[in-house]
Structure 1
């Protein structure tokens, strides 16, 4: 599995190795061995524009996922995360902005491999999976209700 990281913002330092590793782990655990996951780390104005263009939501968000090919063992997809939102939310939640950004990447890749979070039971499974992968990265998840939202 190839993971491409595009850091297109000046707000946060990005640990590309950590992001790449968690993307590969999530994909592998879901049975994907081939393909490419692209992760773009952007600012809020860029995220706002993407959210407006692709989802008709007129506000920035934390993470967007775009599955392109889902044909096991091959996965192609894009995840876009906002460093500005990560920095703001991390300050509010009292944990490092890099960990908040990691949460967004985990959430986005979980969507790529098929996790959903619209129904209550889906949301509970998504939160459990987020916590699992954060812990694999040595990060204790935030309290319930303070996780990625989209």
Structure 2
């Protein structure tokens, strides 16, 4: 089980970039199921974009079988989970729960707070006016799935590697996250 709270500095603006060529598209992975439970009303999310991001990350990690669920929730719900499973008070941006991991198989759950995503996206309005709450949700999903495939951010070197992986995967959608 893995948890992480993503924080950003405001020193670098978010920008849109051209997505890489078509070869960046992950192959359809018939044996990997991605379920999205949208249990919130704050952010209008692009579920297909979330699914494609997860498939990109797991494909790069060599995973071709399994199940990943993503729950989009409010701050109250994620705070309850944060307390129950990690004994930490308060809301966070994303929680990742690894259920099974082998070289080619993955089962896990990602829980994202869209309230936090909306607040964070609004905080970038001056430095990154194009960065939307949906973009912030996608960043959290990418961060969560990276944890599930083995990345961590417990020290400076590992955190830098994880941020680089986030940037690489978000670039496939024409995104450069703020403060990264």
Q: Secondary structure at the match of 1:103?
A: helix
Match of 1:18 among 49, 54, 58: 49
TM-score, normalization by structure 1: 0.94
The number of residues matched between the two structures is 144
Taking the aligned partners of 1:58 and 1:143, their CA distance within structure 2 comes to: 26
1:36 maps to 67
Superposed, which structure 2 residues align to 1:67-106 within 5 Å?
67-94=98-125, 95-106=131-142
Q: Secondary structure at the match of 2:176?
A: coil
Over residues 79-134 of structure 1, what are the superposed CA-to-partner deviations in whole Å (9 max), with x where a residue is unaligned?
Answer: 00000000000000222111000000000000000000010000000100010111
1:148 maps to none
Name the stretch that deviates more: 86-95 or 135-144: 135-144
Supply the RMSD in Å over aligned alpha carbons.
Answer: 0.7
Taking the aligned partners of 2:132 and 2:150, their CA distance within structure 1 comes to: 28
Taking the aligned partners of 2:103 and 2:36, their CA distance within structure 1 comes to: 22
TM-score, normalization by structure 2: 0.79
Taking the aligned partners of 1:23 and 1:30, their CA distance within structure 2 comes to: 11
Gaps of 5+ in 1: 145-150
Shift of 1:14: 1.4
1:110 maps to 146
Taking the aligned partners of 2:100 and 2:173, their CA distance within structure 1 comes to: 26
Specify which structure has the higher proportion of helix: 1
Higher relative contact order (CA 8 A, sep 6+): 2
Query: Does 2:5 correspond to 1:5?
Result: no
Over residues 21-80 of structure 1, what are the superposed CA-to-partner deviations in whole Å (9 max), with x where a residue is unaligned?
Answer: 000110010000000110000000000000000111111000000000001211000000
Taking the aligned partners of 2:111 and 2:137, their CA distance within structure 1 comes to: 11
2:92 maps to 61
Larger Rg computed on CA atoms: 2
1:147 maps to none
Runs of 4+ off more than 2 Å: none
Taking the aligned partners of 1:115 and 1:71, their CA distance within structure 2 comes to: 14
